[in-house]
């Protein structure tokens, strides 16, 4: 299974013309530090995260991926993933909000014709839209019907992320009569749209999920981004890269959660707390069991990070290949992303669970807020399970079967 490097190809396109990766990582750290100061109180209050989205907007993070020429940050996809990781370490729900926005707003470049995609990106940057919703198709799809007056959208779906604070909602719909599945972006202020705050999860409480009902909502041709095919014969490998690109956002979010909880637990341990062996001197955390736990969790997180780096390099190489990317090359990229998903999921779940044991009984205290990491990570992994990804990896390794071209996560 030769999945260690990115596919070779022609020269890379010109680099982004924005401030650069180092600048955006500094911005992300500043925002993360700001979010961390009141993360526990905000999570426990569970309010709609309008203020948090405003913080992201003011920092320029919502327009990070838009070209600098249209007022965006001019950053690339690896930078966006790194930003999600930084934000996720401080607040997993806000990291999810931002990551979902990046994927959905970026998807126009995969789905739409160049002129339409450019117009959507330009307006999104100028008006600093936050994108919510998603293209997953777990529920009955919305219906897009042609009428004498134009296209109308009908149906109801639930979305785990962003619809309560969205300036635009991206949805998956099926054309009546043809059965074609398409991606559509709509203004939630249009007549016929009703958004219900009916999501009540034990984690990711600030992800602003909810249900959206569409009752004969008018849709223009320019609102239809393009087809969302799901089989290998119906789309190019380059278009199919939208799925692993979106999944890598989830991977970076999980890594951020793992790193965030370990950082908080480490500060607690360094303060001299020793939950298991009170005989150990205060301020000198030399409990062997404690050190072993940190060593094991560091191993899990670093290994997942290394796999993620390989997957990100492979994706970047596939994007550079463009339309000459082959199905075999796509399969290599998708398998690498699946491995990173499985490793990051394990690292996040282990770290957020065992950090509670490291801190001991005090971790049950609500003011400490360590439980939010576990609840956030567990909720996210329930929405993004990896069992089927491991099955795909095994089938590829043993039989050479290509992973399916499934829909991307929201």
pLDDT at residue number 270: 87
In whole angstroms, what is the distance from residue 410 CA to residue 132 CA? 8
pLDDT at residue number 6: 33
CA-only gyration radius of the chain, Å: 22
Whats the size of the chain, residue-wise? 410
3-state secondary structure of 384: coil
Q: Is the Cβ–Cβ distance between 165 and 57 less than 8 Å?
A: no
Write the CATH number of the domain with boundaries 133-227.
2.40.110.10
Helices vs. strands in the chain: H and E counts, helices first: 13, 8
Given a cut of 50, the residues of the chain with pLDDT beneath it are: 1-15, 276-284, 408-410
Which H or E run contains 310?
helix 288-321
Give, in words, the CATH class of 237-399.
Answer: mainly alpha
pLDDT at residue number 406: 60
pLDDT at residue number 123: 96
pLDDT at residue number 14: 37
pLDDT at residue number 283: 41
In whole angstroms, what is the distance from residue 224 CA to residue 403 CA? 27
Neighbours of 66 (CB within 10 A): 22
What is the tens place of the pLDDT at every residue in 53-83? Answer: 999 999 999 999 999 999 999 999 999 999 9
What is the tens place of the pLDDT at every residue in 218-242? Answer: 999 999 999 886 665 567 888 888 8
Q: What is the residue extent of each domain of the chain?
A: 21-131, 133-227, 237-399
Are 21-131 and 133-227 in the same CATH fold? no
Name residue, tokens 């919502």: 62
What is the tens place of the pLDDT at every residue in 90-143? Answer: 999 999 999 999 999 998 888 889 999 999 999 999 999 999 999 986 678 899
Give, in words, the CATH class of 21-131.
Answer: mainly alpha
pLDDT at residue number 8: 32
pLDDT at residue number 343: 98
Which H or E run contains 102?
helix 92-106
In whole angstroms, what is the distance from residue 233 CA to residue 297 CA? 42
What is the pTM for the complete model shown? 0.91
pLDDT at residue number 314: 97
Nearest to 401 by CA among 319, 334, 310: 334
In whole angstroms, what is the distance from residue 173 CA to residue 213 CA? 13
pLDDT at residue number 129: 98
């Amino acid at each position: 299974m030769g999945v260690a490097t990115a596919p070779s190809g022609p020269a890379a396109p010109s680099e982004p013309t924005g401030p650069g990766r180092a600048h955006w990582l500094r911005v992300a750290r500043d925002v993360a530090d700001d979010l961390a100061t009141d993360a526990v109180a905000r999570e426990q209050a569970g309010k709609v995260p309008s203020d948090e989205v405003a913080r992201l907007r003011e920092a320029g993070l919502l327009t990070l991926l838009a070209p600098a020429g249209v007022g965006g940050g001019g950053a690339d996809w690896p930078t966006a993933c790194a930003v999600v990781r930084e934000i996720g370490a401080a607040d997993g729900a806000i990291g999810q909000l931002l990551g979902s926005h990046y994927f959905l707003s970026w998807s126009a470049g995969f789905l739409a014709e160049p002129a339409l995609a450019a117009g959507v990106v330009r307006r999104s940057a100028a008006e600093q839209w936050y994108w919510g919703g998603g293209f997953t198709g777990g529920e009955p799809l919305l219906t897009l019907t042609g009428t004498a007056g134009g296209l109308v959208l009908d149906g109801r779906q639930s979305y785990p992320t962003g619809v309560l604070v969205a300036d635009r909602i991206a949805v998956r719909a099926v054309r009546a009569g043809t059965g074609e599945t398409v991606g559509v972006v709509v203004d939630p202020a249009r007549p016929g749209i009703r958004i219900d705050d009916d999501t009540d999860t034990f984690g990711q409480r600030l992800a602003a999920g909810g249900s959206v009902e569409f009752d004969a909502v008018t849709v223009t041709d320019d609102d239809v981004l393009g087809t969302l095919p799901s089989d290998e014969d119906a789309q190019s490998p380059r278009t199919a890269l939208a799925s692993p690109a979106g999944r890598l956002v989830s991977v970076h979010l999980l890594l951020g959660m793992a790193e965030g909880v370990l950082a908080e637990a480490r500060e607690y341990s360094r303060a001299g707390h020793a939950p298991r062996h009170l005989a150990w001197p205060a301020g000198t955390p030399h409990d062997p069991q404690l050190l072993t736990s940190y060593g094991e969790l560091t191993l899990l997180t670093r290994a997942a990070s290394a796999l993620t780096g390989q997957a990100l390099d492979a994706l970047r190489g596939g994007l550079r290949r463009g339309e000459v990317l082959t199905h075999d090359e796509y399969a290599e990229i998708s398998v690498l992303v699946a491995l990173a998903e499985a490793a990051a999921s394990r690292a996040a779940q282990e770290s957020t669970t065992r950090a509670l044991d490291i801190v001991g009984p005090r971790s049950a205290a609500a003011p400490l807020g360590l439980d939010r990491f576990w609840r956030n990570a567990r909720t996210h992994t329930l929405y993004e399970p990896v069992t089927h990804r491991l099955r795909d990896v095994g089938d590829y390794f043993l039989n050479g079967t290509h992973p399916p071209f499934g829909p991307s996560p929201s």
